[in-house]
Amino acid sequence: MSLNEELFKRAAQVIPGGVNSPVRSFRSVGGTPVFIERGAGSKLYTSDGRELIDFCMSWGALLFGHADPDIIGAVLKAAVDGTGFGAATRREVLFAEKLCSMISYVEQVRCVNSGTEAVMTAIRLARGATGRDKILKFDGCYHGHSDSMLVSAGSGLLTGGLSSSAGVPAATAADTLVAPYNDIAAAEEIMKHSGDQIAAIIVEPVAANMGLVPPEPGFLEALRALTHRHGALLIFDEVITGFRFGPTTFGALCGVEPDITCLGKIIGGGLPLAALGGRRTLMEQLAPLGPVYQAGTLSGNPLAVAAGLATLEKIGRDRFFERIGNPIPGKFQGLELQQKGGAFTFFCRKGLPRNLAEAKTCDTAAYGRFFHAMLERGIYLPPAQFETAFISAAHTGADLAALTAAASEMSSDGNGQGDGISAEPLRRLNEE
């Protein structure tokens, strides 16, 4: 039994499914999850002694790669001063000022510990500010695991959604309406019917949780107009997209200003830190000034804000966004590559999907084979088809060349002829 297998067996005794977050379990791709000992730059080092080029990057949190010296230095310095006080600190002020200065339409931010918390609070704020209960979301967008957001499309557009997890009350799911991503007509139909009850429309401005699915031209602008027309708020969940495509939010880059922005991942430099932000008048609806309650013992934790501040400052200095372009060249047999800056997905289907229904037609078993074949070649991709892979500023040209070479090899029959990723080499590897 390999050390990985042994660790997984022990983990499964004391942690449900052996993991502290389900997608880590490799259930979508089969096999035993890798256990990580440490990371440096673009590389992961596993407990059984392998070096892997990491294209998961803590699910997008690590814009500067693993153990970036500037970020680690800031965390170490903060740790020496104490790990938390449950009281206001200077670092929080610096972090909030920096964040607000980088997003033209964000005047205030409230720090929380996870993207889930940021979205949960954004939804409460939207409900509190509008006095309405319903939320419109898009199928395939993931907004963390709060009750209102674990909802998928029901039988019809105009009925409430269905809870996608046991334990979510049906009444809560009924208050979340669900439209297909990139389908403005469907959103309009729902708003026509229930617009006066809808507190907010929430969307990932670039969807990254059904694989990477960009918005079609005009989609976000239309959502902005629709929410204005119906007196609802617009929430951009930028937990992935914030600071992923430029030194600001995607909303700022594309010129669509939401009422509330949710941030996470990159802004915490790899530590548990997330935030929601918006215009002062709206943000001041939160406690202690306003009636919308929200709190947190570890919110604005000194280690996390130190890592976040170091990251935001480094974004200002680094020319990553100018350098990155669309970094993966070429076409791959049997795979469709969607890429945008440092984010990409290899879809095992013909044609790029524009919504969840299309993404669902991917051959997920083929993705499992592809994933394992890439892993064999030292490339660590997200262990599930409906996820997004990430390139950090620490990745080198050699890392990208290794990715491209391995994917090309995997997607051909080895003779350069190519008959798709269900070809022999993949199948053989999976069976070994």
Ligand X SMILES: Cc1ncc(COP(=O)(O)O)c(C=O)c1O
**Quick check: is 142 catalytic?**
yes
Position closest to ligand X via CB: 115
Task: Report in angstroms how near the CB of residue 401 gets to ligand X at its nearest.
Answer: 28
Task: Report in angstroms how near the CB of residue 321 gets to ligand X at its nearest.
Answer: 20
Angle of CA points 23, 387, 413, to nearest 5° = 105
Q: How far is it, in rounded angstroms, from Cα 427 to Cα 432?
A: 9
State which residue, 123 or 157, has the beta carbon closest to ligand X: 123
Which residues in this chain contact ligand X in the complex, by CB under 6 A?
Answer: 59, 114-116, 119, 142-144, 204, 209, 237, 239-240, 264, 274
DSSP state of 353: -
Strand partners, 152: 162
State which residue, 116 or 194, has the beta carbon closest to ligand X: 116
State which residue, 114 or 339, has the beta carbon closest to ligand X: 114
Task: Report in angstroms how near the CB of residue 385 gets to ligand X at its nearest.
Answer: 15
User: Which are the contacts of 62, defined by CB distance < 8 A and separation ≥ 6?
Assistant: 68, 266, 269, 270, 390, 392, 394
Q: How far is it, in rounded angstroms, from Cα 161 to Cα 140?
A: 13
**Quick check: is 45 catalytic?**
no
State which residue, 117 or 399, has the beta carbon closest to ligand X: 117
Burial of 240 (0-12, 13-18, 19+ CB in 10 A): buried
**Quick check: is 48 catalytic?**
no
Q: How far is it, in rounded angstroms, from Cα 192 to Cα 201?
A: 13
**Cβ(150)–Cβ(164) below 8 Å:** yes
Pairing of strands 274-278, 336-340: unpaired
CA 65 to chain centre: 16
State which residue, 102 or 122, has the beta carbon closest to ligand X: 122
Selecting among 237, 259, 363, 399, the annotated active-site residue is: 237
Selecting among 142, 181, 367, 380, the annotated active-site residue is: 142
- On the question of a cis peptide bond just before residue 288, with omega within 30 degrees of 0, the verdict is yes
Task: Report in angstroms how near the CB of residue 89 gets to ligand X at its nearest.
Answer: 22
Task: Report in angstroms how near the CB of residue 178 gets to ligand X at its nearest.
Answer: 16
**Left if phi > 0, otherwise alpha if psi is -120 to 50, otherwise beta: which for 141?**
beta
Across the beta sheet with 233-237, what order do the strands follow?
Answer: 108-112, 274-278, 260-263, 233-237, 198-203, 134-139, 176-180
State which residue, 75 or 119, has the beta carbon closest to ligand X: 119
**CA 236, 240, 245, 248 torsion: positive or negative?**
positive
**Cβ(397)–Cβ(426) below 8 Å:** no
DSSP state string for 68-94: -HHHHHHHHHHHHT-S--SS--HHHHH
Task: Report in angstroms how near the CB of residue 122 gets to ligand X at its nearest.
Answer: 10
Task: Report in angstroms how near the CB of residue 268 gets to ligand X at its nearest.
Answer: 9
Residues in the chain: 432
State which residue, 22 or 86, has the beta carbon closest to ligand X: 22
Selecting among 98, 137, 265, 314, the annotated active-site residue is: 265
- Report, as residue numbers or ranges, the catalytic residues: 142, 237, 265
